[in-house]
């Protein structure tokens, strides 16, 4: 633990002490966990109600969006009823419910409208909703935001371009901006370090220093004014909690809880207004700021960043003063972890096939290199890792970083926790991630300070507005368009340019050119759609609070949505890499190189979903080269595809003048999209799941995990700035055998030595997963790693459950 400069044996003793802690040592956490697990998700009404009340009363000022948004957010924060649940040590509820679904009518909340009446009764992931909420949303809130939501605003005000129309077909690409501002790591350290009084003071000074009277100066002045207004809102939000805690303390009979509530009241009167002095104050300051930020921005992967780094000074100071020990710190960490589960996104039934089981994916990043290139592993890295192990919840998403000189103990403990939880943490290699980020223009010191967002995405914490989930691109449909002359086979509609039919091609280059042409078309369309949404965000939904806790906007006097952040990238996540690789490799080898069948025969077999073309199917399945076997034929194509996608996005800049970072992770979209994709030349039949993330197709990696990892490690890091999800499944029974954990350790080490970027595991026996598919009780707490986030197996749809069961087992 470099920062504490302790000896190896001291470090080992501390780690032993941390890992000796058991959940039974924390009865409060046990109770809170049970309460949270038993609370059914409920549609939140309060925020939307307050927002609509405000706008109905004050109007929707189109001339001054920054001030309008700031004033409305302040109103929401001031008037939100503080909710403190029994036993809580960390308070600040994101919704009025213990487990709420935050609604953003200014974004896409209305998508749930058609099924609001049946939400409590739906078979999969039912959600409570009060009759009052349905009535208010249906007859007042949704109608009010009819022409004030981002999607419609973009369509009406900037035309209705082809890029948006193609997006509305869902299957080619999706743009997350319609759902809000998300997928980033705010600079949450400013709340405990500075406090909002200093932020306000800074904004006032900067505002008063503006001398110009032109439009630019006016905008800057408005921005700083907006920061002041929202900061006042945050302070009111915290003060209301302080008051509530005081009231509860006065009424409390139990002396211990009375004292806790009184302390909470004192603390919230101080933070986040003023700097935090203790570990507990710092954690509370960060959380209540997060809860306030989530009233402005929808929580899809708004992440915490490197908590073990920025919380360390408070912890060490407390330790030195003797006011904290590992047990007390763990109690606070567990309370925070449980609190992160207090809200999840509301997914319509149709969306369950695409995003089922996803929480909000608030990530915490642990260990890794510090900005000055030293090892950052410290006592809190281990403590936060152990907290994950003790709770085994899907939220927060815990991610662990490694570099060439990471402590062996850190590696061991991470793998032990993976074995124990069966799914988390995910592991990241600094030696690949950092070069990927510097390749996109980020400074070395900043790149070293990356954190993980949401599923697997990497971004410089606190200095980037990266929207890492911005564009979802379906590579499998791109290939379909290349095979079918730009026509999408499922609908029969002409979507892409006419680049010819596979049956007309006489060599592989023609097919490749068609693929690149279709890729260009979809990339251009997705950028066009994203640009409109980003413009709509800047004009309709600026975010002064989030801007106040990001590096850049305060210095530039510019909202983050307008490009105020230091870095302004957009993230792309691609589905279908392995299937497209294997498909192109199969056509190249079987049709053009070895001429085992004609292009027309391949086309006919695909159109017939291989029915009546069993020989062709067998050839595609067994004679085509497959990515995941460390063989150049397929692996080189995978590299070529990855480079082509990166280069194509590299031709464009986003609305904020930032670059696109491309990655390969798929959440559950590889099963959802798989249902809409026709037969592919790798032998995959119509409707079957696509391969997850950057992982080889299930069953295709026949040479074992080392070869599979070697193939993945060949993907050039410079083209993977939005990271990858590299999913591997190992039977728990194998990992329980003596020495197998060490084998796994060597496997991971070898992968990282080859500059592989990321790896994540499902540790479960096939028999258990199959049993859990039919046993909801067993499935509800069974953690698995999807293609990115951690989920409960029981929350996944059947297709996704089956995909995890079908995943290649690494028999190490």
Q: What is the contact surface with another protein in residues (CB under 8 A)?
A: 39-40, 42, 97-98, 110-111, 113-118, 120-121, 128-131, 134-135, 138-139, 142-143, 146-147, 149, 151-152, 155, 160, 165, 168-171, 348-351, 353-354, 484, 487-494, 675-676
Closer residue to another protein (CB): 107 or 279? 107
Please tell me what DSSP assigns to residue 612.
T
Least spacing, CB of residue 112 vs another protein, in Å: 8
Q: Residue 415 or residue 471: which is nearer to another protein going by CB? A: 471
Single out the residue of 415, 272, 388, 393 nearest to residue 333, CA to CA.
388
Report the sign of the C-alpha dihedral through residues 472, 475, 478, 484, in that order. negative
List the beta strands (DSSP E) in 431-502.
Answer: 450-453, 457-460, 471-474, 487-488, 493-494
3-state helix, strand, coil in the chain (%, to 5): 55, 10, 35
- Are 679 and 686 in contact, with CB atoms under 8 Å apart? yes
Is 121 or 214 the residue whose CB approaches another protein more closely? Answer: 121
Report the nearest approach of another protein to the CB of residue 491 (Å): 4
**DSSP label at residue 541:** -
Nearest approach, Cβ of residue 141 and another protein (Å): 12
- Could you give phi then psi for residue 605, rounded to 5 degrees? -65, -40
Question: Minimum Å distance from CB 254 to another protein?
Answer: 25
The whole-angstrom separation of Cα 396 and Cα 289 is 17
Nearest distance, CB of residue 721 and another protein, angstroms = 29
DSSP per residue over 676-744, as a string?
Answer: G----TTSPPTTPPPPPTTPPPTTT-TT-HHHHHHHHHTS-GGG-TT-B--EEEE-HHHHTSTTHHHHH
Angle, in degrees to the nearest 10, between helices 766-773 and 798-806: 170
- Label residue 636 exposed, middle or buried (CB < 10 Å: 0-12, 13-18, 19+): middle
* Residue whose pair of structure tokens reads 């981002």 in the numeric block: 150
Alpha-carbon distance 146 to 153, whole Å? 9
Look at residues 660, 643, 635 and name the one whose alpha carbon lies nearest to residue 718: 643
Q: Between residues 3 and 799, which has the closer beta carbon with respect to another protein?
A: 799
Considering the complex, state which of residue 488 and residue 655 has its C-beta at the smaller distance from another protein: 488
Q: Write down the least CB distance from residue 25 to another protein, Å.
A: 30
Quote the least distance from Cβ 510 to another protein, whole Å: 21
Beta carbon nearer to another protein, 447 or 482:
482
In the bound state with another protein, the residue whose beta carbon lies nearer, of 152 and 412, is: 152
Report the alpha-carbon distance of residue 333 to residue 284 in Å, rounded: 10
Q: Which residues contact 602 (CB under 8 A, 6 or more apart)?
A: 502, 503, 587, 590, 591, 616, 681
Between 118 and 742, name the residue whose CB sits nearer to another protein.
Answer: 118
CB of 134 to another protein, least distance (A): 6
Is 168 or 254 the residue whose CB approaches another protein more closely? 168
- Record the tokens describing residue 273, joined without a space: 């207004």
Backbone φ and ψ for 343, nearest 5 degrees, come out as: -155, 145
**Which of 294, 452, 431, 436 is CA-nearest to residue 375?**
431
Cβ distance to another protein smaller for residue 400 or 676: 676
> DSSP E strands: which ranges in 385-489?
397-402, 426-429, 450-453, 457-460, 471-474, 487-488
Residue 108 beta carbon to another protein: minimum distance, rounded to whole angstroms: 8
CA–CA distance, 604 with 237 (Å, rounded to integer): 64
Nearer to another protein, 349 or 443 (CB): 349
Among candidate residues 400, 191, 375, 405, the one with its CA nearest the CA of residue 282:
191
Shortest Cβ 122–another protein spacing (Å): 8
What is the token pair recorded at 801?
């459950």
Least Å distance, CB 573 to another protein, is 18
| Smallest separation (angstroms) from another protein to the CB of 804 | 22
Question: Residues 796, 783: contact at Cβ < 8 Å?
Answer: no
Both ends of the chain: CA-CA distance in Å?
31
- Give whichever of 41 and 265 is closer to another protein, judged by the CB atom: 41
**Residue 74, both tokens:** 């302040």
Cβ-based nearer residue to another protein, 229 or 605 = 605
Q: Which residue has the tokens 């400069």?
A: 5
Q: How far is the CB of 142 from another protein (least distance, A)?
A: 7
Question: Minimum distance between the CB of residue 599 and another protein, rounded to whole angstroms?
Answer: 18
Closest CB to another protein among residues 451, 525:
525
Task: Name residue, tokens 């030195």.
Answer: 320
Minimum gap (Å) between residue 169 Cβ and another protein? 6
684's CB contacts (< 8 A; 6+ apart) are 579, 583, 690, 697
Q: Which is nearer to another protein, 127 or 436 (CB)?
A: 127
> In angstroms, what is the minimal distance from the CB of 290 to another protein?
22
Omega before 575 within 30 of 0, i.e. cis: no
Q: Which is nearer to another protein, 94 or 276 (CB)?
A: 94
For the bound state, the minimum distance from the C-beta of residue 357 to another protein, rounded and expressed in Å, comes to: 18
Angle at alpha carbon of residue 583, lines to 577 and 586, rounded to 5°: 140
Judge contact between 791 and 358, C-beta under 8 A. yes
Q: Which is nearer to another protein, 433 or 676 (CB)?
A: 676
Contact 535, 655 (CB under 8 A): yes
């Amino acid at each position: 633990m470099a920062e504490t400069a302790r000896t190896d044996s001291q470090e080992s003793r501390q780690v032993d002490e941390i890992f000796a802690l058991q959940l039974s040592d924390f009865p409060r956490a046990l109770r809170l966990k049970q309460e949270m697990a038993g609370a059914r998700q409920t549609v939140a009404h309060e925020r939307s109600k307050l927002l609509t009340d405000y706008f109905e009363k004050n109007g929707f000022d189109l001339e001054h969006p920054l001030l309008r948004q700031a004033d409305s957010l302040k109103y929401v924060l001031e008037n939100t009823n503080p909710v403190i649940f029994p036993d809580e040590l960390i308070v600040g509820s994101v919704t009025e419910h213990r487990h709420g679904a935050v609604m953003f009518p200014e974004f896409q909340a209305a998508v749930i409208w058609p099924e609001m009446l049946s939400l409590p009764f739906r078979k999969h992931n039912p959600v409570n909703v009060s009759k009052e909420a349905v009535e208010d949303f249906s007859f007042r809130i949704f109608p009010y935001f009819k022409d004030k939501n981002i999607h419609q605003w973009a369509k009406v005000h900037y035309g209705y371009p082809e890029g948006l129309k193609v997006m509305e077909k869902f299957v080619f690409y999706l743009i997350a901006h319609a759902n809000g501002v998300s997928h980033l790591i705010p600079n949450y350290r400013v709340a405990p370090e500075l406090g909002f009084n200093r932020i306000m003071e800074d904004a006032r000074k900067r505002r008063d220093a503006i001398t110009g009277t032109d439009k630019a100066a006016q905008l800057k002045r408005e921005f700083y004014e907006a920061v002041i207004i929202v900061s006042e809102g945050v302070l009111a939000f915290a003060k209301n909690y302080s008051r509530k805690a005081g009231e509860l303390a006065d009424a409390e009979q139990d002396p211990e809880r009375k004292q806790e509530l009184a302390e909470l009241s004192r603390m919230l009167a101080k933070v986040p207004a003023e700097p935090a002095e203790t570990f507990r104050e710092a954690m509370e300051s960060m959380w209540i700021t997060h809860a306030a930020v989530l009233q402005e921005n929808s929580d899809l992967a708004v992440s915490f960043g490197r908590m073990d780094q920025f919380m360390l000074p408070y912890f060490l100071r407390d330790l030195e003063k003797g006011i904290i020990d590992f047990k007390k710190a763990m109690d606070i960490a567990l309370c925070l972890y449980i609190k992160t589960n207090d809200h999840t996104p509301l997914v319509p039934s149709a969306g369950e096939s695409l995003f089922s089981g996803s929480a909000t994916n608030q990530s915490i990043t642990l260990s890794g290199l510090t900005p000055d290139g030293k090892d950052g592993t410290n006592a809190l890295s281990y403590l936060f890792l152990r907290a994950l192990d003790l709770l085994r919840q899907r939220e927060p998403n815990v991610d662990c970083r490694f570099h060439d000189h990471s402590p062996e103990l850190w590696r061991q403990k991470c793998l032990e926790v993976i074995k124990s939880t069966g799914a988390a943490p995910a592991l990241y290699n600094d030696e690949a991630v950092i070069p990927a980020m510097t390749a996109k223009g980020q400074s070395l010191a900043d790149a070293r300070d990356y954190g993980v967002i949401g599923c697997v995405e990497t971004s410089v914490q606190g200095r980037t507005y990266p929207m890492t989930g911005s564009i979802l691109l379906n590579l499998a449909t791109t290939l379909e368009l290349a095979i079918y002359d730009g026509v999408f086979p499922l609908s029969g509609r002409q979507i892409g340019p006419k680049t010819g039919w596979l049956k007309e091609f006489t060599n592989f280059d023609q097919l490749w050119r068609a693929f690149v042409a279709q890729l260009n078309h979809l990339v251009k369309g997705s950028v066009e759609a994203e640009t409109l949404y980003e413009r709509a965000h800047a004009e309709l939904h600026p975010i002064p609070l989030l801007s106040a806790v990001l590096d850049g906007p305060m210095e530039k006097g510019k909202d983050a949505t307008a490009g105020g952040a230091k870095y302004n990238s957009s993230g792309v996540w691609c589905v279908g890499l392995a299937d497209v690789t294997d498909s192109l490799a199969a056509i190249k080898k079987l049709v053009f190189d070895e001429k085992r069948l004609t292009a027309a025969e391949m086309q006919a077999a695909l159109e017939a979903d291989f029915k009546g073309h069993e020989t062709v199917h067998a050839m595609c399945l067994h004679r085509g080269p497959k990515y995941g076997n460390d063989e150049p034929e397929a692996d080189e194509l995978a590299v070529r595809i990855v480079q082509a996608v990166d280069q194509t996005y590299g031709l464009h800049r986003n609305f904020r003048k930032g670059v696109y970072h491309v990655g390969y992770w798929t959440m559950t979209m590889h099963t959802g999209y798989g249902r809409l994709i026709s037969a592919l030349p790798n032998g995959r039949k119509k409707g079957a799941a696509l391969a997850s993330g950057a992982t080889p197709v299930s069953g295709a990696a026949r040479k074992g995990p080392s070869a599979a990892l070697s193939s993945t490690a060949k993907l050039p890091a410079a083209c993977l700035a939005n990271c990858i999800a590299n999913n591997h499944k190992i039977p728990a029974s194998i990992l329980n055998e003596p020495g197998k954990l060490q084998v796994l350790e060597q496997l991971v080490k070898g992968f990282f030595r080859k500059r592989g970027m990321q790896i994540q595991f499902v540790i479960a026996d096939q028999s258990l997963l199959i049993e859990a598919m039919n046993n909801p009780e067993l499935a509800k707490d069974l953690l698995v790693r999807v293609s990115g986030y951690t989920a409960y197996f029981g929350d996944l749809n059947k297709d996704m459950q089956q995909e995890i069961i079908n995943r290649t087992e690494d028999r190490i």
